[in-house]
Structure 1
Amino acid sequence: MPRIEFTKVEVLGNDLLVIVDPEDAQQLASPDIARLCDRHLGVGADGVVRMLRSARIPEGQRVLETAPEAEWFMDYATSTGATEAFSANGLRAMARVLTDSDLVELPSGETLAIATRVGVKDVQRNSTGGFQTDLGRWRLAGGEPLVSARGIAVARPGLGIEVGLPHVVVALSSEEELEELDLREPPEVDPPHPAGLTVAFVVPGDPLVKNGVGQLRMRVYERELGETRSSGTAASAVALAVRHWAGEGAPHHWRVEAPGGALQVRMFPTEEGEHLGQAGPAEIVFSGSINI
Protein backbone atom coordinates (compact mmCIF):
# COMPACT_ATOMS: atom_id res chain seq x y z
CA MET A 1 0.00 0.00 0.00
CA PRO A 2 1.51 3.39 -0.97
CA ARG A 3 1.76 6.20 1.50
CA ILE A 4 -1.64 7.80 2.17
CA GLU A 5 -1.92 11.58 2.13
CA PHE A 6 -4.85 13.01 4.05
CA THR A 7 -6.37 16.21 5.40
CA LYS A 8 -8.05 16.15 8.80
CA VAL A 9 -11.17 18.33 8.91
CA GLU A 10 -13.19 19.22 12.01
CA VAL A 11 -16.96 19.69 11.62
CA LEU A 12 -18.63 20.62 14.91
CA GLY A 13 -16.64 18.14 16.95
CA ASN A 14 -16.66 15.39 14.33
CA ASP A 15 -13.25 14.83 12.80
CA LEU A 16 -12.94 13.30 9.36
CA LEU A 17 -9.95 12.26 7.27
CA VAL A 18 -10.36 13.46 3.69
CA ILE A 19 -8.28 11.67 1.04
CA VAL A 20 -7.97 13.10 -2.47
CA ASP A 21 -7.95 10.11 -4.83
CA PRO A 22 -9.29 11.31 -8.19
CA GLU A 23 -8.27 8.19 -10.15
CA ASP A 24 -9.50 5.63 -7.56
CA ALA A 25 -5.92 4.45 -7.03
CA GLN A 26 -6.03 4.13 -3.22
CA GLN A 27 -8.82 1.72 -2.45
CA LEU A 28 -8.80 1.11 1.29
CA ALA A 29 -9.96 -2.12 2.90
CA SER A 30 -12.12 -1.91 6.02
CA PRO A 31 -9.22 -2.85 8.36
CA ASP A 32 -7.09 -0.08 6.80
CA ILE A 33 -9.82 2.49 7.43
CA ALA A 34 -10.36 1.29 10.99
CA ARG A 35 -6.62 1.56 11.67
CA LEU A 36 -6.44 5.07 10.19
CA CYS A 37 -9.32 6.17 12.41
CA ASP A 38 -7.97 4.49 15.57
CA ARG A 39 -7.08 7.22 18.07
CA HIS A 40 -4.23 5.19 19.57
CA LEU A 41 -2.79 3.31 16.59
CA GLY A 42 -3.61 5.67 13.72
CA VAL A 43 -4.40 9.30 12.99
CA GLY A 44 -7.75 9.26 14.80
CA ALA A 45 -11.08 10.20 13.22
CA ASP A 46 -14.81 9.51 13.14
CA GLY A 47 -14.64 8.45 9.50
CA VAL A 48 -12.88 8.68 6.14
CA VAL A 49 -14.05 10.61 3.09
CA ARG A 50 -12.30 9.50 -0.10
CA MET A 51 -12.85 11.98 -2.95
CA LEU A 52 -12.67 10.55 -6.45
CA ARG A 53 -13.87 11.39 -9.92
CA SER A 54 -17.38 10.08 -10.39
CA ALA A 55 -16.45 8.61 -13.78
CA ARG A 56 -13.98 6.23 -12.11
CA ILE A 57 -16.49 4.04 -10.26
CA PRO A 58 -19.80 2.41 -11.27
CA GLU A 59 -21.80 4.22 -8.55
CA GLY A 60 -20.53 7.55 -9.80
CA GLN A 61 -21.11 6.68 -13.43
CA ARG A 62 -24.78 6.00 -12.67
CA VAL A 63 -25.10 9.44 -11.07
CA LEU A 64 -23.44 11.09 -14.07
CA GLU A 65 -26.14 9.70 -16.38
CA THR A 66 -28.66 12.14 -14.93
CA ALA A 67 -26.34 14.71 -13.30
CA PRO A 68 -23.25 15.22 -15.51
CA GLU A 69 -22.21 18.19 -13.36
CA ALA A 70 -21.47 15.88 -10.37
CA GLU A 71 -17.80 15.45 -11.24
CA TRP A 72 -16.69 14.41 -7.72
CA PHE A 73 -17.92 11.39 -5.75
CA MET A 74 -17.99 10.92 -1.97
CA ASP A 75 -16.79 7.47 -0.90
CA TYR A 76 -17.51 7.51 2.84
CA ALA A 77 -16.73 4.96 5.55
CA THR A 78 -17.18 5.17 9.31
CA SER A 79 -14.38 4.58 11.79
CA THR A 80 -15.27 0.88 11.85
CA GLY A 81 -14.51 0.62 8.14
CA ALA A 82 -18.18 0.21 7.20
CA THR A 83 -19.28 1.92 3.97
CA GLU A 84 -22.16 4.37 4.38
CA ALA A 85 -24.35 6.10 1.80
CA PHE A 86 -22.92 9.52 2.66
CA SER A 87 -22.15 11.88 5.53
CA ALA A 88 -23.89 15.23 5.88
CA ASN A 89 -20.98 16.66 7.88
CA GLY A 90 -18.64 14.97 5.40
CA LEU A 91 -20.14 16.98 2.53
CA ARG A 92 -18.91 20.18 4.15
CA ALA A 93 -15.53 18.61 4.91
CA MET A 94 -15.20 17.52 1.30
CA ALA A 95 -16.21 20.95 0.02
CA ARG A 96 -13.60 22.56 2.28
CA VAL A 97 -10.78 20.41 0.89
CA LEU A 98 -11.92 20.71 -2.72
CA THR A 99 -12.08 24.50 -2.56
CA ASP A 100 -9.04 25.15 -0.36
CA SER A 101 -6.86 22.94 -2.57
CA ASP A 102 -8.16 24.69 -5.72
CA LEU A 103 -9.51 21.45 -7.17
CA VAL A 104 -12.79 23.27 -7.78
CA GLU A 105 -13.88 26.88 -7.82
CA LEU A 106 -16.96 27.73 -5.81
CA PRO A 107 -17.78 31.45 -6.00
CA SER A 108 -20.48 32.79 -3.73
CA GLY A 109 -23.93 31.93 -5.08
CA GLU A 110 -22.75 29.03 -7.27
CA THR A 111 -23.36 25.34 -6.57
CA LEU A 112 -21.03 22.37 -6.28
CA ALA A 113 -22.75 19.05 -7.08
CA ILE A 114 -21.30 16.06 -5.18
CA ALA A 115 -22.28 12.52 -6.16
CA THR A 116 -23.06 10.02 -3.37
CA ARG A 117 -24.48 6.52 -3.13
CA VAL A 118 -27.91 8.10 -2.63
CA GLY A 119 -27.78 10.65 -5.43
CA VAL A 120 -26.50 14.19 -5.82
CA LYS A 121 -26.03 16.58 -2.91
CA ASP A 122 -25.60 20.29 -3.70
CA VAL A 123 -23.20 22.50 -1.73
CA GLN A 124 -22.83 26.29 -1.63
CA ARG A 125 -20.76 28.69 0.41
CA ASN A 126 -22.60 30.55 3.15
CA SER A 127 -22.13 34.00 4.60
CA THR A 128 -20.31 32.80 7.74
CA GLY A 129 -17.45 31.11 5.89
CA GLY A 130 -18.85 27.59 6.06
CA PHE A 131 -21.09 25.75 3.63
CA GLN A 132 -24.78 25.09 3.13
CA THR A 133 -25.96 21.82 1.66
CA ASP A 134 -29.11 20.45 0.05
CA LEU A 135 -29.54 16.95 1.49
CA GLY A 136 -32.48 16.14 -0.78
CA ARG A 137 -35.78 14.53 0.14
CA TRP A 138 -36.71 12.81 3.39
CA ARG A 139 -39.49 10.49 4.52
CA LEU A 140 -41.18 9.11 7.59
CA ALA A 141 -40.02 5.49 7.86
CA GLY A 142 -39.93 2.96 10.66
CA GLY A 143 -43.07 3.85 12.57
CA GLU A 144 -42.92 4.69 16.27
CA PRO A 145 -40.66 2.13 17.98
CA LEU A 146 -40.07 2.12 21.72
CA VAL A 147 -36.61 3.27 22.78
CA SER A 148 -34.90 2.42 26.08
CA ALA A 149 -31.65 3.99 27.25
CA ARG A 150 -29.67 4.17 30.47
CA GLY A 151 -30.78 7.21 32.42
CA ILE A 152 -34.40 7.01 31.20
CA ALA A 153 -36.68 5.22 33.67
CA VAL A 154 -39.36 4.25 31.15
CA ALA A 155 -39.09 3.39 27.45
CA ARG A 156 -40.22 6.24 25.19
CA PRO A 157 -41.87 6.13 21.78
CA GLY A 158 -39.71 7.46 18.98
CA LEU A 159 -40.38 8.57 15.42
CA GLY A 160 -38.67 6.86 12.49
CA ILE A 161 -37.26 9.26 9.90
CA GLU A 162 -35.03 8.55 6.92
CA VAL A 163 -32.74 11.28 5.60
CA GLY A 164 -30.65 9.06 3.37
CA LEU A 165 -29.85 7.04 6.51
CA PRO A 166 -32.35 5.59 9.03
CA HIS A 167 -32.93 7.40 12.34
CA VAL A 168 -35.30 7.30 15.26
CA VAL A 169 -35.95 10.50 17.24
CA VAL A 170 -36.98 10.47 20.90
CA ALA A 171 -38.34 13.55 22.70
CA LEU A 172 -37.22 14.12 26.30
CA SER A 173 -38.92 16.33 28.84
CA SER A 174 -36.07 18.53 30.08
CA GLU A 175 -32.46 19.62 29.75
CA GLU A 176 -31.72 17.64 32.92
CA GLU A 177 -33.06 14.44 31.39
CA LEU A 178 -30.92 15.00 28.31
CA GLU A 179 -27.82 15.56 30.45
CA GLU A 180 -28.48 12.45 32.56
CA LEU A 181 -28.56 10.14 29.55
CA ASP A 182 -25.82 7.51 29.68
CA LEU A 183 -24.92 6.71 26.07
CA ARG A 184 -21.91 4.55 26.82
CA GLU A 185 -24.21 1.65 25.95
CA PRO A 186 -26.40 1.55 22.83
CA PRO A 187 -30.08 2.40 23.29
CA GLU A 188 -32.48 -0.50 22.71
CA VAL A 189 -35.08 -0.10 19.97
CA ASP A 190 -38.21 -2.28 19.88
CA PRO A 191 -38.82 -3.52 17.28
CA PRO A 192 -35.19 -3.43 16.12
CA HIS A 193 -34.27 -2.13 12.68
CA PRO A 194 -32.56 -4.77 10.47
CA ALA A 195 -29.79 -2.35 9.44
CA GLY A 196 -29.48 -0.62 12.80
CA LEU A 197 -30.54 2.92 13.64
CA THR A 198 -28.97 6.16 14.69
CA VAL A 199 -30.91 7.25 17.79
CA ALA A 200 -31.30 10.98 18.46
CA PHE A 201 -32.66 12.40 21.74
CA VAL A 202 -34.07 15.92 21.56
CA VAL A 203 -35.27 18.61 23.95
CA PRO A 204 -37.18 21.65 22.65
CA GLY A 205 -35.84 25.06 23.61
CA ASP A 206 -37.63 27.44 25.94
CA PRO A 207 -39.10 29.19 24.07
CA LEU A 208 -39.40 26.67 21.24
CA VAL A 209 -39.38 29.42 18.61
CA LYS A 210 -37.22 32.54 18.77
CA ASN A 211 -37.33 35.15 15.99
CA GLY A 212 -39.05 32.62 13.75
CA VAL A 213 -36.40 29.91 14.24
CA GLY A 214 -37.02 26.71 16.19
CA GLN A 215 -34.55 26.00 19.00
CA LEU A 216 -33.51 22.41 19.81
CA ARG A 217 -30.82 20.51 21.70
CA MET A 218 -29.86 16.92 20.95
CA ARG A 219 -27.56 14.06 21.80
CA VAL A 220 -26.94 11.25 19.34
CA TYR A 221 -25.96 7.59 19.46
CA GLU A 222 -24.75 6.76 15.97
CA ARG A 223 -25.38 3.19 14.91
CA GLU A 224 -22.42 0.90 15.61
CA LEU A 225 -20.20 3.85 16.61
CA GLY A 226 -21.50 5.24 19.89
CA GLU A 227 -22.23 8.79 21.00
CA THR A 228 -21.05 11.44 18.58
CA ARG A 229 -20.47 15.14 19.20
CA SER A 230 -22.34 16.09 16.04
CA SER A 231 -24.36 14.49 13.24
CA GLY A 232 -25.73 16.37 10.26
CA THR A 233 -28.31 13.76 9.35
CA ALA A 234 -29.46 13.45 12.99
CA ALA A 235 -29.82 17.24 13.27
CA SER A 236 -32.12 17.13 10.25
CA ALA A 237 -34.08 14.21 11.69
CA VAL A 238 -34.74 15.91 15.05
CA ALA A 239 -35.88 19.13 13.35
CA LEU A 240 -38.26 17.14 11.16
CA ALA A 241 -39.58 15.16 14.12
CA VAL A 242 -40.27 18.19 16.30
CA ARG A 243 -41.95 20.01 13.42
CA HIS A 244 -44.09 16.91 12.86
CA TRP A 245 -45.09 16.78 16.53
CA ALA A 246 -45.69 20.54 16.73
CA GLY A 247 -48.13 20.48 13.83
CA GLU A 248 -49.42 23.30 11.68
CA GLY A 249 -47.69 26.61 12.24
CA ALA A 250 -44.33 25.08 13.21
CA PRO A 251 -41.33 26.81 11.61
CA HIS A 252 -39.36 25.45 8.67
CA HIS A 253 -36.06 26.82 9.98
CA TRP A 254 -34.35 25.30 13.03
CA ARG A 255 -31.21 25.72 15.08
CA VAL A 256 -30.08 22.32 16.41
CA GLU A 257 -27.41 22.35 19.10
CA ALA A 258 -25.30 19.26 19.83
CA PRO A 259 -22.28 18.91 22.16
CA GLY A 260 -20.01 19.90 19.26
CA GLY A 261 -21.94 23.02 18.23
CA ALA A 262 -25.02 24.17 16.34
CA LEU A 263 -26.29 23.42 12.83
CA GLN A 264 -28.91 25.37 10.92
CA VAL A 265 -31.60 23.16 9.35
CA ARG A 266 -34.35 24.30 7.01
CA MET A 267 -37.06 22.65 4.95
CA PHE A 268 -37.99 24.10 1.56
CA PRO A 269 -40.26 23.10 -1.35
CA THR A 270 -38.98 21.89 -4.72
CA GLU A 271 -40.71 20.49 -7.80
CA GLU A 272 -40.01 16.93 -6.64
CA GLY A 273 -41.08 17.49 -3.03
CA GLU A 274 -39.72 19.00 0.16
CA HIS A 275 -35.94 19.12 0.56
CA LEU A 276 -33.69 19.52 3.58
CA GLY A 277 -31.10 22.28 3.75
CA GLN A 278 -28.31 22.53 6.27
CA ALA A 279 -25.60 25.08 7.09
CA GLY A 280 -22.52 24.85 9.27
CA PRO A 281 -18.73 25.12 9.44
CA ALA A 282 -15.89 22.87 8.30
CA GLU A 283 -12.33 23.67 9.37
CA ILE A 284 -9.05 22.07 8.31
CA VAL A 285 -7.03 20.92 11.32
CA PHE A 286 -3.89 19.65 9.59
CA SER A 287 -2.62 17.64 6.63
CA GLY A 288 -0.19 14.73 6.70
CA SER A 289 0.70 11.33 5.31
CA ILE A 290 0.96 7.86 6.77
CA ASN A 291 1.87 4.32 5.74
CA ILE A 292 -0.86 1.76 6.34
Structure 2
Amino acid sequence: MTITFTKGHGTGNDFILIQDLAGQMALTEAEIRKLCDRHFGIGADGLIFAVRTENSAEVRGLLEQEPNAEWFMDYRNSDGSKAEMCGNGIRVFARYLLSNSLAELTDGSTLPIATRNGIKDVTATASGFAVDLGRWGVTETEYLVRVGGLGVARPGLAINLGNPHIVVALADQEELSSLELSKAPVLDPEAPNGANVEFVVLDEPLIKEGVASLTMRVHERGVGETMSCGTGVAAAALAIRHWAGNGQNFWKVRVPGGEVAVRMFATEDGEHVGISGAAELVFTGSVEL
Protein backbone atom coordinates (compact mmCIF):
# COMPACT_ATOMS: atom_id res chain seq x y z
CA MET A 1 0.00 0.00 0.00
CA THR A 2 1.31 3.44 -0.95
CA ILE A 3 0.46 6.22 1.49
CA THR A 4 0.71 9.91 0.63
CA PHE A 5 1.55 12.04 3.66
CA THR A 6 2.52 15.50 4.83
CA LYS A 7 4.97 16.20 7.63
CA GLY A 8 4.30 19.18 9.91
CA HIS A 9 5.16 20.54 13.33
CA GLY A 10 4.09 23.00 16.00
CA THR A 11 7.10 24.32 17.98
CA GLY A 12 8.99 21.13 17.17
CA ASN A 13 6.17 18.75 18.15
CA ASP A 14 5.97 16.91 14.81
CA PHE A 15 3.26 14.93 13.07
CA ILE A 16 2.51 12.83 10.01
CA LEU A 17 -0.76 13.92 8.38
CA ILE A 18 -2.71 11.57 6.11
CA GLN A 19 -6.02 12.09 4.32
CA ASP A 20 -8.53 9.37 5.17
CA LEU A 21 -11.72 11.13 4.16
CA ALA A 22 -13.91 8.02 4.44
CA GLY A 23 -12.38 6.88 7.71
CA GLN A 24 -11.50 3.49 6.28
CA MET A 25 -7.69 3.44 6.51
CA ALA A 26 -7.42 0.90 9.30
CA LEU A 27 -3.69 1.04 10.03
CA THR A 28 -2.60 -1.15 12.93
CA GLU A 29 -0.73 0.18 15.94
CA ALA A 30 2.38 -1.60 14.65
CA GLU A 31 2.07 0.14 11.26
CA ILE A 32 1.65 3.53 12.94
CA ARG A 33 4.71 2.85 15.11
CA LYS A 34 6.67 2.00 11.96
CA LEU A 35 5.65 5.24 10.23
CA CYS A 36 6.52 7.31 13.32
CA ASP A 37 9.88 5.57 13.90
CA ARG A 38 12.68 8.11 13.48
CA HIS A 39 15.19 5.55 12.24
CA PHE A 40 13.14 3.19 10.07
CA GLY A 41 10.11 5.33 9.17
CA ILE A 42 9.16 8.92 8.45
CA GLY A 43 9.63 9.95 12.06
CA ALA A 44 7.12 11.86 14.20
CA ASP A 45 5.68 12.32 17.69
CA GLY A 46 2.26 11.36 16.37
CA LEU A 47 0.09 10.67 13.35
CA ILE A 48 -3.10 12.51 12.35
CA PHE A 49 -5.75 11.16 10.02
CA ALA A 50 -7.93 13.80 8.34
CA VAL A 51 -11.36 12.17 8.45
CA ARG A 52 -14.75 13.62 7.56
CA THR A 53 -16.63 13.74 10.85
CA GLU A 54 -19.73 12.17 9.32
CA ASN A 55 -17.67 9.09 8.43
CA SER A 56 -16.40 8.42 11.96
CA ALA A 57 -18.58 6.38 14.29
CA GLU A 58 -16.47 7.70 17.21
CA VAL A 59 -17.37 11.36 16.81
CA ARG A 60 -20.25 11.53 14.32
CA GLY A 61 -22.61 12.54 17.14
CA LEU A 62 -20.68 15.81 17.59
CA LEU A 63 -22.32 17.10 14.42
CA GLU A 64 -25.54 17.49 16.41
CA GLN A 65 -23.66 19.96 18.61
CA GLU A 66 -21.77 21.69 15.79
CA PRO A 67 -22.94 20.91 12.22
CA ASN A 68 -20.01 22.87 10.77
CA ALA A 69 -17.39 20.59 12.34
CA GLU A 70 -16.74 18.88 9.02
CA TRP A 71 -13.35 17.45 9.99
CA PHE A 72 -12.28 14.99 12.67
CA MET A 73 -8.67 15.08 13.86
CA ASP A 74 -8.08 11.36 14.42
CA TYR A 75 -4.89 11.62 16.48
CA ARG A 76 -2.58 8.72 17.32
CA ASN A 77 0.49 8.75 19.55
CA SER A 78 3.75 7.44 18.09
CA ASP A 79 3.17 4.11 19.84
CA GLY A 80 -0.05 3.73 17.84
CA SER A 81 -2.44 4.41 20.72
CA LYS A 82 -5.38 6.80 20.35
CA ALA A 83 -5.32 10.14 22.16
CA GLU A 84 -8.15 12.49 23.09
CA MET A 85 -6.54 15.73 21.94
CA CYS A 86 -3.30 17.38 20.92
CA GLY A 87 -2.89 21.12 21.27
CA ASN A 88 0.02 21.46 18.85
CA GLY A 89 -1.41 18.82 16.54
CA ILE A 90 -4.73 20.60 16.08
CA ARG A 91 -2.97 23.79 14.96
CA VAL A 92 -0.92 21.81 12.44
CA PHE A 93 -4.11 20.02 11.38
CA ALA A 94 -5.76 23.39 10.73
CA ARG A 95 -2.79 24.47 8.62
CA TYR A 96 -3.05 21.19 6.68
CA LEU A 97 -6.77 21.60 6.00
CA LEU A 98 -6.31 25.15 4.73
CA SER A 99 -3.25 24.32 2.63
CA ASN A 100 -5.10 21.48 0.92
CA SER A 101 -8.26 23.56 0.32
CA LEU A 102 -10.25 21.25 2.59
CA ALA A 103 -11.44 24.15 4.76
CA GLU A 104 -11.53 27.94 4.82
CA LEU A 105 -10.69 30.32 7.64
CA THR A 106 -11.26 33.99 6.92
CA ASP A 107 -10.42 36.93 9.18
CA GLY A 108 -12.57 36.80 12.28
CA SER A 109 -14.03 33.37 11.50
CA THR A 110 -13.67 30.15 13.47
CA LEU A 111 -12.87 26.65 12.27
CA PRO A 112 -14.57 24.01 14.46
CA ILE A 113 -12.70 20.69 14.55
CA ALA A 114 -13.99 17.44 16.01
CA THR A 115 -11.74 15.54 18.43
CA ARG A 116 -12.19 12.69 20.88
CA ASN A 117 -12.48 15.42 23.50
CA GLY A 118 -15.27 17.24 21.70
CA ILE A 119 -15.34 20.27 19.40
CA LYS A 120 -12.34 22.61 19.47
CA ASP A 121 -12.52 26.04 17.85
CA VAL A 122 -9.48 27.27 15.92
CA THR A 123 -8.84 30.84 14.79
CA ALA A 124 -6.00 32.34 12.76
CA THR A 125 -3.39 34.59 14.37
CA ALA A 126 -0.50 36.62 12.99
CA SER A 127 1.99 33.88 13.88
CA GLY A 128 -0.12 30.77 13.40
CA PHE A 129 -3.31 29.61 15.07
CA ALA A 130 -5.11 29.84 18.40
CA VAL A 131 -7.26 27.03 19.78
CA ASP A 132 -9.83 27.08 22.55
CA LEU A 133 -9.07 23.94 24.58
CA GLY A 134 -12.29 24.31 26.54
CA ARG A 135 -12.93 23.84 30.24
CA TRP A 136 -10.30 22.38 32.51
CA GLY A 137 -10.17 20.99 36.00
CA VAL A 138 -7.86 19.98 38.84
CA THR A 139 -7.99 16.29 39.70
CA GLU A 140 -8.22 15.52 43.41
CA THR A 141 -5.67 12.69 43.39
CA GLU A 142 -2.30 13.75 44.84
CA TYR A 143 0.70 12.34 42.97
CA LEU A 144 4.36 11.87 43.73
CA VAL A 145 6.59 11.85 40.65
CA ARG A 146 9.94 10.08 40.43
CA VAL A 147 12.18 10.75 37.47
CA GLY A 148 15.81 10.21 36.58
CA GLY A 149 18.03 13.15 37.48
CA LEU A 150 16.09 14.13 40.60
CA GLY A 151 17.16 12.60 43.88
CA VAL A 152 13.75 12.53 45.54
CA ALA A 153 10.14 12.28 44.43
CA ARG A 154 8.35 15.56 43.85
CA PRO A 155 4.64 16.36 44.26
CA GLY A 156 2.64 16.81 41.08
CA LEU A 157 -0.68 18.52 40.40
CA ALA A 158 -3.09 16.63 38.12
CA ILE A 159 -4.79 18.80 35.50
CA ASN A 160 -7.53 17.48 33.21
CA LEU A 161 -7.72 19.06 29.77
CA GLY A 162 -9.59 16.22 28.18
CA ASN A 163 -6.29 14.36 28.30
CA PRO A 164 -4.45 13.83 31.61
CA HIS A 165 -1.50 15.92 32.81
CA ILE A 166 0.61 15.99 35.97
CA VAL A 167 2.67 19.13 36.54
CA VAL A 168 5.78 19.24 38.71
CA ALA A 169 7.41 22.51 39.78
CA LEU A 170 11.23 22.54 40.00
CA ALA A 171 13.56 24.91 41.79
CA ASP A 172 15.72 26.15 38.93
CA GLN A 173 16.99 25.64 35.41
CA GLU A 174 19.75 23.33 36.63
CA GLU A 175 17.17 20.87 37.95
CA LEU A 176 15.21 21.13 34.71
CA SER A 177 18.32 20.44 32.62
CA SER A 178 19.30 17.46 34.77
CA LEU A 179 16.11 15.50 34.06
CA GLU A 180 16.48 12.16 32.30
CA LEU A 181 13.27 11.86 30.30
CA SER A 182 14.28 8.98 28.05
CA LYS A 183 12.19 6.82 30.40
CA ALA A 184 8.68 7.61 31.59
CA PRO A 185 8.44 9.23 35.05
CA VAL A 186 7.10 6.90 37.74
CA LEU A 187 3.80 8.06 39.26
CA ASP A 188 2.61 7.20 42.75
CA PRO A 189 -0.21 6.24 42.58
CA GLU A 190 -0.25 5.09 38.98
CA ALA A 191 -2.48 7.13 36.69
CA PRO A 192 -5.29 4.86 35.38
CA ASN A 193 -4.74 5.82 31.73
CA GLY A 194 -1.23 7.18 32.01
CA ALA A 195 -0.44 10.88 31.90
CA ASN A 196 1.66 13.53 30.24
CA VAL A 197 4.12 14.84 32.83
CA GLU A 198 5.32 18.45 32.67
CA PHE A 199 8.30 19.81 34.61
CA VAL A 200 8.33 23.59 34.97
CA VAL A 201 10.56 26.38 36.25
CA LEU A 202 9.26 29.89 36.84
CA ASP A 203 11.00 32.90 35.33
CA GLU A 204 12.38 35.60 37.60
CA PRO A 205 10.53 37.90 37.76
CA LEU A 206 7.47 35.76 37.10
CA ILE A 207 5.37 38.56 35.59
CA LYS A 208 6.68 41.16 33.17
CA GLU A 209 4.47 43.66 31.34
CA GLY A 210 1.38 41.73 32.42
CA VAL A 211 2.52 38.35 31.07
CA ALA A 212 3.80 35.52 33.27
CA SER A 213 6.47 33.24 31.87
CA LEU A 214 7.97 29.86 32.60
CA THR A 215 10.10 27.14 31.01
CA MET A 216 8.95 23.55 30.54
CA ARG A 217 10.05 20.07 29.52
CA VAL A 218 7.55 17.25 29.01
CA HIS A 219 7.31 13.48 28.77
CA GLU A 220 4.22 12.57 26.73
CA ARG A 221 2.47 9.26 27.36
CA GLY A 222 2.78 6.95 24.40
CA VAL A 223 5.57 9.09 22.90
CA GLY A 224 8.44 10.06 25.23
CA GLU A 225 10.08 13.45 25.64
CA THR A 226 8.92 15.87 22.97
CA MET A 227 10.07 19.35 22.02
CA SER A 228 6.64 20.74 22.87
CA CYS A 229 3.16 19.73 24.04
CA GLY A 230 0.29 22.14 23.46
CA THR A 231 -2.10 20.87 26.11
CA GLY A 232 0.92 20.38 28.40
CA VAL A 233 1.85 24.04 28.02
CA ALA A 234 -1.67 24.98 29.10
CA ALA A 235 -1.55 22.53 32.01
CA ALA A 236 1.76 23.99 33.21
CA ALA A 237 0.43 27.55 33.26
CA LEU A 238 -2.80 26.45 34.95
CA ALA A 239 -0.91 24.56 37.65
CA ILE A 240 1.38 27.46 38.46
CA ARG A 241 -1.57 29.85 38.59
CA HIS A 242 -3.41 27.38 40.84
CA TRP A 243 -0.48 27.18 43.25
CA ALA A 244 0.19 30.92 43.20
CA GLY A 245 -3.47 31.90 43.50
CA ASN A 246 -2.74 35.13 41.67
CA GLY A 247 -5.43 35.07 38.98
CA GLN A 248 -2.83 35.66 36.25
CA ASN A 249 -4.49 34.93 32.89
CA PHE A 250 -1.76 35.59 30.31
CA TRP A 251 1.25 33.30 30.05
CA LYS A 252 4.25 32.64 27.87
CA VAL A 253 5.71 29.15 28.04
CA ARG A 254 9.10 28.28 26.56
CA VAL A 255 9.70 24.71 25.44
CA PRO A 256 12.72 23.22 23.63
CA GLY A 257 10.94 23.80 20.29
CA GLY A 258 9.95 27.43 20.80
CA GLU A 259 7.29 29.40 22.62
CA VAL A 260 3.54 29.00 23.09
CA ALA A 261 1.13 31.58 24.52
CA VAL A 262 -1.60 30.61 27.00
CA ARG A 263 -4.71 32.56 27.92
CA MET A 264 -7.46 31.82 30.46
CA PHE A 265 -10.85 33.46 29.82
CA ALA A 266 -14.42 33.38 31.08
CA THR A 267 -17.29 31.89 29.05
CA GLU A 268 -20.95 31.16 29.74
CA ASP A 269 -20.15 27.57 30.71
CA GLY A 270 -17.14 28.38 32.90
CA GLU A 271 -13.50 29.28 32.46
CA HIS A 272 -11.74 28.09 29.31
CA VAL A 273 -8.05 27.94 28.47
CA GLY A 274 -6.59 28.59 25.04
CA ILE A 275 -3.18 28.38 23.44
CA SER A 276 -1.65 30.02 20.38
CA GLY A 277 1.51 29.41 18.41
CA ALA A 278 3.10 28.53 15.13
CA ALA A 279 2.09 25.64 12.87
CA GLU A 280 4.24 24.66 9.89
CA LEU A 281 4.06 22.11 7.09
CA VAL A 282 7.53 20.86 6.20
CA PHE A 283 7.27 18.46 3.27
CA THR A 284 5.04 15.95 1.49
CA GLY A 285 5.86 12.51 0.18
CA SER A 286 4.73 8.94 -0.23
CA VAL A 287 5.78 5.77 1.54
CA GLU A 288 5.25 2.05 0.89
CA LEU A 289 3.69 0.20 3.81
TM-score, structure 2 as length reference:
0.97
Residue 253 of structure 1 contacts residue 266 of structure 1 at CA under 8 Å; is this kept in 2?
yes
In structure 2, relative to structure 1, the CA distance for the partners of 1:224 and 1:57 (3 Å cut) is closer
The equivalent of 2:242 in structure 1 is: 244
Mapped partners of 1:43, 1:209: distance in 2: 40
The equivalent of 2:64 in structure 1 is: 65
Deviations along 1:121-167, whole A, 9 cap, x unmatched? Answer: 00010022x00000111111153211111221221111011111111
Deviations along 1:76-113, whole A, 9 cap, x unmatched? Answer: 10111111112111101110111111111111211000
The equivalent of 1:233 in structure 2 is: 231
1:117-128 aligned within 5 A: 117-128=116-127
Aligned counterpart in structure 2 of residue 282 of structure 1, from 263, 272, 279 = 279
- Tell me the CA shift for residue 225 of structure 1: 2.1
In structure 2, relative to structure 1, the CA distance for the partners of 1:142 and 1:195 (3 Å cut) is farther
- Tell me the CA shift for residue 59 of structure 1: 2.0
SS of equivalent to 2:40? coil
The equivalent of 1:145 in structure 2 is: 143
Residue 273 in 1 paired to residue 270 in 2?
A: yes
Residue 186 of structure 1 contacts residue 221 of structure 1 at CA under 8 Å; is this kept in 2?
yes
SS of equivalent to 2:275? strand
Residue 108 of structure 1 contacts residue 126 of structure 1 at CA under 8 Å; is this kept in 2?
no
Residue 196 in 1 paired to residue 199 in 2?
A: no
SS of equivalent to 2:267? coil
Mapped partners of 1:182, 1:123: distance in 2: 34
Percent pairwise identity: 49
The equivalent of 1:170 in structure 2 is: 168
Q: Which structure 1 residue ranges, 5 or more long, are not aligned?
A: none
Matched letter for residue 267 of structure 1: M
In structure 2, relative to structure 1, the CA distance for the partners of 1:234 and 1:22 (3 Å cut) is same
Q: Which structure 2 residue ranges, 5 or more long, are not aligned?
A: none
1:206-221 aligned within 5 A: 206-221=204-219
- Tell me the CA shift for residue 290 of structure 1: 1.1
SS of equivalent to 1:58? coil
The equivalent of 1:160 in structure 2 is: 158
Mapped partners of 1:40, 1:171: distance in 2: 33
Mapped partners of 1:170, 1:251: distance in 2: 19
Mapped partners of 1:26, 1:153: distance in 2: 46
The equivalent of 1:38 in structure 2 is: 37
Matched letter for residue 287 of structure 1: T
Mapped partners of 1:10, 1:55: distance in 2: 27
Where do 4+ consecutive residues of structure 1 move more than 4 Å? none
SS of equivalent to 2:158? strand
Matched letter for residue 135 of structure 1: L
Residue 142 of structure 1 contacts residue 161 of structure 1 at CA under 8 Å; is this kept in 2?
no
Aligned counterpart in structure 2 of residue 253 of structure 1, from 237, 250, 253 = 250
Deviations along 1:50-82, whole A, 9 cap, x unmatched? Answer: 011100011231111111111100111011111
- Paired positions, count: 289
Matched letter for residue 195 of structure 2: L
SS of equivalent to 2:236? helix
Mapped partners of 1:27, 1:55: distance in 2: 17
